[in-house]
Amino acid sequence: MKILILTGAGVSAESGLGTFRDKGGVWTRYDLSEVATPEGFARDPQKVIDFYNMRRANARGAQPNAAHLALARLQSEYTRGEVTLVTQNVDSLHEAAGSDALHMHGAHGVARCAACDARWPAPLVMSLNDQCPDCGRPETRPDVVWFGEVPHHLPRIAGHLRTADLFVAIGTSGTVYPAAGFVAEARARGARTVEINLEPSQVAGQFDEVILGPATETVPAWVA
Among 4, 17, 36, 164, binds ligand BJW (CB under 6 A): 36
Interface with ligand BJW includes 121 (CB under 6 A)?
no
Interface with ligand BJW includes 152 (CB under 6 A)?
no
Give me the least distance between CB of 213 and ligand BJW, in Å please: 7
Q: Which residue stretch of 56-64, 111-119, 121-129, 147-155 sits at the interface with ligand BJW (rule: CB under 6 A)?
A: 147-155
Alpha helix stretches (DSSP H) within 61-193:
66-77, 93-97, 154-163, 182-188
Among 145, 191, 194, 203, binds ligand BJW (CB under 6 A): 145
Interface with ligand BJW includes 148 (CB under 6 A)?
yes
Interface with ligand BJW includes 12 (CB under 6 A)?
no
From the candidates 94, 103, 105, 108, which is the catalytic residue? 105
Angle, CA 148 vertex, CA 145 and CA 150 arms, to 5°? 55
Residues 6+ apart with CB under 8 A from 155: none
- Report the distance separating Cα 187 and Cα 166, nearest Å: 9
Q: Which of residues 82 and 102 has its CB atom nearest to ligand BJW in the complex? A: 102
**Per DSSP, what are the bridge partners of residue 112?**
119, 141
Amino acid present at 178: P
Cα–Cα nearest to 102, from 119, 90, 114? 90
Give me the least distance between CB of 129 and ligand BJW, in Å please: 22
Residue 27 near residue 21 (C-beta atoms within 8 A): yes
Cα–Cα nearest to 221, from 5, 15, 66? 66
Cα of 186 vs its chain's centroid, Å: 18
Amino acid present at 6: L
Give me the least distance between CB of 173 and ligand BJW, in Å please: 3
Task: Determine whether 105 is an active site residue.
Answer: yes
Interface with ligand BJW includes 20 (CB under 6 A)?
yes
- Which residues here bind ligand BJW, judged by CB under 6 A? 8-10, 13-14, 19-22, 25, 36, 88, 90, 105, 144-151, 154, 171-173, 175-178, 197-199, 201, 214-215
